[in-house]
């Protein structure tokens, strides 16, 4: 299968980390299944945002299985020629994809019309405004809608490619690729772009210490006294400092951490829902269900079903 990585001037070199997963898949499979090639509108050298130059083939000669459009740090400007070539190539390709802001190029080519897509959360509203017939989901790592795949940030491009490998070669090879690339964990397409710990980030060391303690001990009750003890403060001092530093209460913060961990388990494991509730500190599955419905608008079972086969990795 030929994988065509479409480059334009100013692209981010980190996109090569995503397509490197195809090379690892070849090694794990013991044969060259994927042939990754770099293309551009006219061929020749294309310069990245960091100044690195890459030799590319002319796009009009491309006959590929999978097209992946790379992008830079800004919303790209799609030339008429690139759009024409992308539309023509997409008619024959088995799937087309974008990494991060490359979604805007797919949109310019009309390939997102009537589809679900994602992009970097900072630019999701702009993507929705420019392409109103596309349903933009700003809270997904990647989305596969039929033959059109889109990823969020640059690192999410690697998760998307591993998802493609799973679709092509099965979960065992995909799992081996993720391990071979020393990925911290195999993120499913349904996972949020945001981290609860990052959303609660503060420069107050004592609050961070309490949050880290909570994250590592979700199975415990995690009372105010427990968290205050971890922060080396009295419960009254801790509660006041926590709200001042994060804008929320310790109880709500702990619930956010529990929900994030539970959602990850639902998407990436086949643990029974009761076990997920127990491992993440909810008293029982019903209490966890109520929290999911209140925060996510969906029950745990629906979230697991939405993750589909990618949840098994």
8 A C-beta contact, residue 96 and residue 147: yes
Grouping H, G, I as helix, E, B as strand and the rest as coil, residue 91 is helix
Output the DSSP codes for 129-193.
HH-TTSEE-TT-SEEEETTEEEESSTTHHHHHHHHHHHHHH-HHHHHHHHHHTT-SS---TTS-S
100 is catalytic: yes
Cα 227 → chain centroid: 31
Please tell me the number of Cα atoms within 13 Å of 291 on its side-chain side: 23
> How far is it, in rounded angstroms, from Cα 152 to Cα 189?
10
8 A C-beta contact, residue 21 and residue 161: yes
Helix, strand, coil percent values for the chain (each to nearest 5): 50, 15, 35
Tokens representing residue 95 in the block? 């799937």
Determine which one of 15, 100, 134, 232 is catalytic.
100
Catalytic residues, which ones? Answer: 100
């Amino acid at each position: 299968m030929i994988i065509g990585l479409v480059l334009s001037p100013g692209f981010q070199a980190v996109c090569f980390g995503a397509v490197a997963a195809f090379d690892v898949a070849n090694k794990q499979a013991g044969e060259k299944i994927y042939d990754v090639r770099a293309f551009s509108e006219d061929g020749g050298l294309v310069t990245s945002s960091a100044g690195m130059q890459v030799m590319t083939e002319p796009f009009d000669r491309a006959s590929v299985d999978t097209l992946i459009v790379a992008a830079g740090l800004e919303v790209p400007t799609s030339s008429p020629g690139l759009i024409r070539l992308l539309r023509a190539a997409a008619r024959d390709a088995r799937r087309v994809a974008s990494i991060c802001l490359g979604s805007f190029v797919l949109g310019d080519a009309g390939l997102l019309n009537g589809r679900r897509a994602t992009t970097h959360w900072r630019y999701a509203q702009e993507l929705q405004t420019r392409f109103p017939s596309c349903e933009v989901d700003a809270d997904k790592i990647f989305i596969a809608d039929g033959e059109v795949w889109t990823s969020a940030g640059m690192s999410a491009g690697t998760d998307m490619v591993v998802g493609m490998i799973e679709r092509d070669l099965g979960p065992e090879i995909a799992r081996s690729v993720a391990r071979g690339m020393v990925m911290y964990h195999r993120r499913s397409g349904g996972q949020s772009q945001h981290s609860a710990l990052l959303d609660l980030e503060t420069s107050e060391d004592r609050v961070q210490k309490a949050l880290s303690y909570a994250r590592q001990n979700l199975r415990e009750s995690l009372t105010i006294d427990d968290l205050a003890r971890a922060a080396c403060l009295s419960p009254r001092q801790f509660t006041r400092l926590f709200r001042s530093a994060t804008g929320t209460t310790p109880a709500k913060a702990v619930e956010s951490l529990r929900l994030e961990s539970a959602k990850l388990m639902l998407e990436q494991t086949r643990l029974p829902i009761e076990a997920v509730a127990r491992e993440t500190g909810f008293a029982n599955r019903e209490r966890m269900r109520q929290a999911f419905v209140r925060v996510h608008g969906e029950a745990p079972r629906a979230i697991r079903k939405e993750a589909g086969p990618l949840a098994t990795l």
